[in-house]
């Protein structure tokens, strides 16, 4: 019995570490965008490498958790749901990395008058991811609180969509070439996609929460 | 020879191990919270412990319903119950040995011309309904208790899983113990009156009574059932009959274990007696119906949306069809055993209404006019006496049973050496043994004669008109002791 409890505690800490990484990735994403908008390209690249590192660690942790859950037949009734949550949350980090990678490859020139809206969209997306992390943590520890956090994720996702729409309108209203407008729209949508990914996890999480409730 | 005849009882045990263990561990194994090997080991150990140490209560109730007094009869009754259960389970009705064995015993009573104790039938049949309703109520209550714990718990999902997993082991062990205690009567209960086992003393400290040895044998047949066939049944029960989450499986299992224990524990019975509280009859109940009751209870507590109500109809059907079918099979098979295979399925008992017995009956307060139809006559069947007595005066069934008990010829000779040799003397206090020795070699024609001289002593205190449950229980204990003396002192 103590051995099993040790395994339980170990997996528990791995899940917590995984969620810490998701949270850190979101914060790093916001800082990276801020660096990029202010022309601090070296710092931006450093942040990108950091996120790549996070992505690897998150993948390793997810596989390790998966292996433990199956090998020790832990939470047999919920492990399918838990693994789906972890895989989908992992996709949020992938989205963050893809978005920054595109910045690094294409180095789009962003007019400075778009900076504020750009940051607001980023902040809304990051807030959605942070609330998602709270929701997932609650799924494991405090089932009653999950729905509150899910509600907040939906709120910030809508916020990101609305600000993103304003950003795209402003891009196309500006006095720049159509090809640049098109390129900037692509980057704006990429940032919104981070909150969309958080919302996708919440859609599943809401159902899994109902399943777990008595 | 005894062991050959016991085979039908052991077959019942195998069937119990194969089928009913699924009701305890089915959901836990199917949800992969427990591995089959672990579940089987827990079931094997605790069913055996329950059967050996707590199995006598429900067995006594079955004994009062009908005391099958010949090996061939016990064999046939157990076989009839086994055949009936096989047929009914094939139709898809959840039934258990509890229902079929009762019908089979009544079949023996009717075949051998014995009177059936209606009060025992009512006690047993009402217990089936009560067990079902009680397990549903307990499960619903436990569900309401568990819901806030699960929904508002701040403990990690993995810790909850850890807790549920170990609770399933502990509650499963309790359930298995209760199942063994409650259902062993179904397996070897009919063999109790004809069991040849004598008490075994281990290192002069522990006594394994003859009854416990019989139960141990029955329990071993259950264990064989667990290891040979229960895995398949567990999967079916866990997957098809009711798919439960681990926490609801735990609630259902706990409710089932509590109900089986309530209907099996003599210790609890005595405790309730001493506290002056109403007691629960010690009756073998169906573990299948009890677990279905628990699942229905949880379903109702959840709002009653997902309950398959047709299962309730099927269970009610089982309460009637199982005993009736077992009765018919038992009666037919007893007829075939006696007349085709020429096996003894009952001891021939004679009843005489001579001056001695008539005087005794009159002393008990009966009117002489009521006895004019039987006075001076001998009978070979209880039913014939019943008919004669009923024609003249409207006597109650209890009164007639009392009269029949007095008229029964049962030659006895006090033989304390035989009592010591069989190891049964340990059931009596040194004072009681000293009194028995006073009557060494004395012969009696009727059981009541021995009883009369013994209860005149304080050491064999008997309450003719008990006014409390405690006194009734004291009478029951004394009846058990006297029953043992009758068997040991019987002259062939």
Domain boundaries of chain B, sorted by first residue: 2-339, 351-407, 412-489
The CA-atom distances, in angstroms, between B216 and each of B107, B241, B264 are 27, 31, 16
Contacts for B489 with CB less than 8 Å, ≥ 6 apart = B412, B413, B414, B415, B418, B419, B450
Closest-approach residue (CA) in chain A for B149:
A214
Task: Give A113-137 pLDDT, tens digit per residue.
Answer: 999 999 999 999 999 999 999 999 9
Interface touch A141/B154, C-beta < 8 Å = yes
Confidence of residue B238 (pLDDT cuts 50, 70, 90): low
Confidence of residue B465 (pLDDT cuts 50, 70, 90): confident
Contacts with A143 from chain B: Cβ below 8 Å: 150-153
Q: How do beta strands B412-413 and B200-202 pair?
A: unpaired
Task: Give B297-327 pLDDT, tens digit per residue.
Answer: 998 998 877 777 777 787 788 888 889 999 9
Of A188, A32, A83, A203, the closest CA to residue A132 belongs to A203
CA dihedral B405, B407, B408, B414 (to 10 degrees): 90
* Contact B150/A at CB under 8 A: yes
Contacts with B156 from chain A: Cβ below 8 Å: 8, 12, 140-141
Bigger pLDDT: B194 or A52? A52
Question: Chains A, B: CB contacts under 8 A, how many?
Answer: 61
Of B182, B475, B144, B412, the closest CA to residue B298 belongs to B144
Interface touch A214/B150, C-beta < 8 Å = yes
Output the CA angle B132-B286-B473, nearest 5 degrees.
85
Interface touch B247/A214, C-beta < 8 Å = yes
Q: Which of B154, B161, B244, B297 to mutate to test the interface with A (most CBs of A within 10 A)?
A: B161
Domain boundaries, chain A: 2-212
Output the CA angle A122-A125-A126, nearest 5 degrees.
85
For the residues of B239-303, what is the DSSP string, one character each?
Answer: III----HHHHHHHHHHHHHHHHHTT-HHHHHHHHHTTPPP-------HHHHHHHHHHHHHHHTT
Confidence (pLDDT) at B370: 81
Confidence (pLDDT) at A58: 96
* A4 has pLDDT over 70: no
Closest-approach residue (CA) in chain A for B302:
A214
Dist CA A182 CA A186 (whole Å): 6
Judge contact between A44 and B130, C-beta under 8 A: no
* B196 has pLDDT over 80: yes
Of A205, A169, A156, the closest CA to residue A26 belongs to A156
Task: Give A148-193 pLDDT, tens digit per residue.
Answer: 999 999 999 999 999 999 999 999 998 899 999 999 999 999 999 9
Interface touch B158/A77, C-beta < 8 Å = no
* Contact B248/A at CB under 8 A: yes
Task: Give B12-26 pLDDT, tens digit per residue.
Answer: 999 888 888 888 888
Token pair, residue B457, equals 């002593």
B134-162 as b/e: b if 16+ CB within 10 A: bbbbbbbebbeebbeebeebeebbbbbbb
Confidence of residue B241 (pLDDT cuts 50, 70, 90): low
Judge contact between B176 and B51, C-beta under 8 A: no
Name the residue with tokens 């950091």: A50
Token pair, residue B66, equals 């009908």
* Contact B246/A at CB under 8 A: yes
Judge contact between A184 and A171, C-beta under 8 A: yes
Q: Is A174 exposed, middle or buried (0-12, 13-18, 19+ CB in 10 A)?
A: middle
Token pair, residue B190, equals 């009919």
Confidence of residue B269 (pLDDT cuts 50, 70, 90): confident
Interface touch A214/B162, C-beta < 8 Å = no
Q: Which helix (H) or strand (E) holds B39?
A: helix B36-54
Q: Is B199 exposed, middle or buried (0-12, 13-18, 19+ CB in 10 A)?
A: middle
Residues making up chain A, counted from first to last: 214
Confidence (pLDDT) at B81: 92
* B219 has pLDDT over 60: yes
Three-state secondary structure call for residue B352: strand
CATH topology of domain A2-212: Methane Monooxygenase Hydroxylase; Chain G, domain 1 (1.20.58)
The CA-atom distances, in angstroms, between B22 and each of B66, B221, B225, B241, B288 are 30, 16, 11, 11, 9
Token pair, residue A119, equals 């940051």
Contacts with A141 from chain B: Cβ below 8 Å: 154-157
Q: Give the gap in angstroms from C-alpha A204 to the nearest C-alpha of chain B.
A: 17
The CA-atom distances, in angstroms, between B472 and each of A98, B9, B89, B126 are 83, 31, 39, 21
Q: Give the gap in angstroms from C-alpha B286 to the nearest C-alpha of chain A.
A: 27
Contacts for B465 with CB less than 8 Å, ≥ 6 apart = none
* Contact B155/A at CB under 8 A: yes
Bigger pLDDT: B442 or B390? B442
Dist CA B188 CA B2 (whole Å): 12
CA dihedral (B434, B440, B446, B447) positive or negative: positive
Instruction: Report the predicted TM-score, pTM, of the whole model to 2 decimal places.
Output: 0.85
Contacts for B458 with CB less than 8 Å, ≥ 6 apart = none
Contacts for B77 with CB less than 8 Å, ≥ 6 apart = B68, B101, B104, B105, B107, B108, B190, B330, B334
- Compute φ and ψ for B352, nearest 5 degrees: -130, 135
Interface touch B246/A76, C-beta < 8 Å = yes
**DSSP letter at B408?**
B
Interface touch B154/A5, C-beta < 8 Å = no
Token pair, residue B479, equals 């009846």
Confidence (pLDDT) at B242: 63
* A1 has pLDDT over 70: no
């Amino acid at each position: 019995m103590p051995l099993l409890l040790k395994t339980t505690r170990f997996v528990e800490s791995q899940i917590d570490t995984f969620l810490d990484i998701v949270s850190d990735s979101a914060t790093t994403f916001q800082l990276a965008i801020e660096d990029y908008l202010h022309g601090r390209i070296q710092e931006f690249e450093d942040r990108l490498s950091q996120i790549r590192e996070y992505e690897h660690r998150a993948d390793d942790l997810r596989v390790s958790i998966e292996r433990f859950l199956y090998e020790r037949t832990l939470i047999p009734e919920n492990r399918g749901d838990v693994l789906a949550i972890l895989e989908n949350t992992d996709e949020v980090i992938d989205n963050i990395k893809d978005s920054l990678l595109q910045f690094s490859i294409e180095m789009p020139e962003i007019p400075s008058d778009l900076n504020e809206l750009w940051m607001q969209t980023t902040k809304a997306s990051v807030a959605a991811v942070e609330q998602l992390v709270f929701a997932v943590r609650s799924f494991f520890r405090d089932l009653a609180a999950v729905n509150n956090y899910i509600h907040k994720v939906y709120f910030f996702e809508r916020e990101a969509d609305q600000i993103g729409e304003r950003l795209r309108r402003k891009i196309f209203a500006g006095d720049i070439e159509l090809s640049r407008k098109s390129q900037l729209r692509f980057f704006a949508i990429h940032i919104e996609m981070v909150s969309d990914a958080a919302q996708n996890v919440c859609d599943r999480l809401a159902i899994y929460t109902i399943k777990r409730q008595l | 020879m005894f062991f050959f005849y016991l085979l039908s009882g052991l077959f019942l045990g195998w069937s119990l191990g194969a089928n009913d263990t699924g009701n305890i561990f089915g959901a836990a194994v199917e949800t992969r919270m427990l591995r089959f090997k672990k579940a089987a080991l827990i079931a094997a150990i605790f069913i055996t412990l329950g059967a050996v140490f707590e199995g006598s209560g429900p067995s006594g109730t079955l004994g009062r319903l009908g005391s099958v007094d010949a090996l061939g009869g016990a064999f046939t009754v157990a076989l009839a119950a086994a055949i009936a259960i096989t047929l009914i389970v094939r139709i898809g009705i959840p039934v258990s040995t509890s229902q079929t064995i009762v019908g089979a015993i009544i079949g023996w009573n009717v075949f051998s011309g014995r009177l059936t104790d209606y009060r025992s039938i009512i006690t047993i049949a009402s217990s089936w309904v009560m067990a079902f309703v009680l397990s549903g109520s307990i499960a619903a209550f436990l569900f309401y208790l568990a819901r806030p714990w699960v929904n508002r718990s701040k403990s990690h999902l993995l810790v909850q899983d850890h807790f549920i997993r170990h609770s399933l082991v502990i509650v499963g062990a309790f359930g298995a113990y209760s199942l063994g205690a409650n259902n062993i009567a179904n397996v070897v209960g009919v063999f109790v009156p004809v069991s040849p086992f004598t008490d075994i003393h281990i290192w002069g400290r522990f006594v394994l009574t003859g009854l416990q040895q019989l139960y141990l044998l029955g329990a071993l047949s259950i264990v064989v059932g667990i290891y040979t066939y229960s895995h398949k049944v567990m999967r079916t029960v866990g997957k098809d009959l009711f798919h439960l989450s681990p926490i609801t499986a735990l609630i259902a299992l706990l409710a089932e274990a509590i109900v089986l224990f309530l209907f099996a524990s003599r210790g609890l019975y005595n405790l309730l007696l001493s506290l002056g509280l109403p007691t629960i009859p010690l009756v073998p109940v169906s573990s299948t119906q009890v677990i279905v009751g628990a699942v229905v209870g949880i379903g109702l507590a959840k709002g009653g949306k997902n309950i398959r109500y047709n299962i309730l109809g099927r269970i009610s059907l089982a309460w009637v069809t199982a005993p009736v079918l077992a009765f018919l099979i038992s009666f037919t098979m007893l007829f075939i055993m006696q007349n085709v295979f020429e096996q003894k399925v009952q001891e021939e008992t004679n009843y005489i209404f001579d001056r001695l017995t008539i005087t005794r009956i009159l002393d008990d307060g009966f009117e002489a006019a009521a006895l004019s139809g039987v006075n001076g006559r001998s009978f070979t069947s209880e039913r014939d006496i019943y008919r004669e007595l009923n024609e003249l005066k409207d006597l109650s069934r209890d009164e007639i049973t009392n009269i029949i008990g007095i008229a029964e010829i049962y030659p006895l000779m006090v033989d304390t050496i035989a009592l010591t040799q069989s190891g049964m003397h340990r059931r009596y206090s040194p004072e009681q043994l000293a009194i028995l020795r006073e009557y060494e070699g004395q012969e009696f024609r009727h059981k009541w004669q021995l009883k009369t001289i013994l209860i005149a002593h304080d050491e064999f205190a008997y309450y003719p008109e008990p006014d409390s449950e405690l006194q009734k229980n004291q009478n029951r204990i004394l009846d058990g002791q006297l029953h043992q003396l009758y068997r040991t002192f019987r002259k062939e």
